[in-house]
Amino acid sequence: MAYDMQGASDGSSIYLGMPFDLDPDAPERRDQDFEAPQRRTMGAGTTGLAVTDVDHKDRLNMMRTGQLGSVHSWELVTAVDGPGTRMTVFMAGCPLRCLYCHNPDTFKMKDGEPVTADTLIKKLKRYRPVFKATGGGVTLSGGEVLMQPRFAATILKGAHDLGIHTCIDTSGYLGANCTDEMLQNIDLVLLDVKSGIPETYKATTGRELQPTIDFGDRLAAAGIEVWARFVLVPGLTDAYDNVEAVADIIARWPDNVSRVEVLPFHQMGRDKWESLGYKYQLEDTEPPEPELVERVRDQFRARGFYVK
């Protein structure tokens, strides 16, 4: 999931920079005054969209057909998760266990809320003028969006049918779950390349690197725009050779990677690990010094990439 923000369940928001009150559901709209930066969250682990009146069997059927998903939360954001103002939907469930994950409360699909595709698509429709005005759209994040490929496919198609720009934010580990038809409804992929050396990738995420490369190759063949992302963690992912290996991987896709984002590690997820009873291994890790961030950005710039 996107790393430049914190998950939406605990209310401990950080800047996400939506300048106007753009929520059509807000009791009062103020279209002129700038407001303090804010994020739209459902708070306390709920989504505000959840269905409550569907029995267990129906829920399973709806999940199988992509009509129902498990959603952690959603928010409206600007300048993150893709271009313009976006509705970012955090899906519940992730097969990775990144040591730096700041949203361990999205690890398990069962911890999300059941939300119908119809409800989400209706919400997207109401935001369409905002998306149009800002060049934004919808971003499906997580957790891992490709844990729920049928639900994701329904949302992406529904959004595309409404003319809304679509994006998924993924590690690519479950790229095999993404059908070719689904790819046709994706405008942008935020692809996390979490390390370039396979052993470092495994130490960082608990999983293998190769599926991410395979998915990136597919995106390149399909000509889908990619923003490649790399979380820089001192002592874990920052080795010069590891960054070079990430750059080697991204350099496989020169025509469709339009930017590389280097995301400095932060400690904003630490308390969640503790409160969930998980062991947090980066307790003593400091955020990278600016010089280190620049060194890494320069490594990507040296390959000719636009780097943020």
Binding site for ligand SF4 (CB under 6 A): 1, 94, 96-98, 101, 103, 106, 142-144, 171
Q: Which is nearer to ligand SF4, 109 or 197 (CB)?
A: 109
Quote the least distance from Cβ 175 to ligand SF4, whole Å. 13
Q: Which is nearer to ligand SF4, 129 or 235 (CB)?
A: 235
Residue pair 11/20 in contact (Cβ under 8 Å)? The answer is no
Q: Which is nearer to ligand SF4, 144 or 261 (CB)?
A: 144
Q: Which is nearer to ligand SF4, 85 or 171 (CB)?
A: 171
Amino acid at 71: V
Q: Which is nearer to ligand SF4, 142 or 158 (CB)?
A: 142
Q: Which of 140, 135, 143 is nearest to 154 (CA)?
A: 140
Quote the least distance from Cβ 190 to ligand SF4, whole Å. 11
Other Cβ atoms less than 10 A from the Cβ of 234: the count is: 15
- Rounded Cα distance, 12 and 211, in Å: 33
Quote the least distance from Cβ 58 to ligand SF4, whole Å. 28
Q: Which is nearer to ligand SF4, 73 or 171 (CB)?
A: 171
Quote the least distance from Cβ 81 to ligand SF4, whole Å. 13
- Rounded Cα distance, 101 and 73, in Å: 16
Quote the least distance from Cβ 2 to ligand SF4, whole Å. 8
Quote the least distance from Cβ 249 to ligand SF4, whole Å. 17
Token code pair at residue 160: 């595309």
Residue pair 216/189 in contact (Cβ under 8 Å)? The answer is no
Other Cβ atoms less than 10 A from the Cβ of 64: the count is: 11
Token code pair at residue 128: 């369409």
Q: Which is nearer to ligand SF4, 141 or 299 (CB)?
A: 141
Give the pairing type, strands 68-78 and 113-116. Answer: antiparallel
Strand order in the sheet with 137-141: 113-116, 68-78, 85-91, 137-141, 165-170, 188-192, 225-232, 257-264
Residue pair 104/278 in contact (Cβ under 8 Å)? The answer is yes
Quote the least distance from Cβ 34 to ligand SF4, whole Å. 32
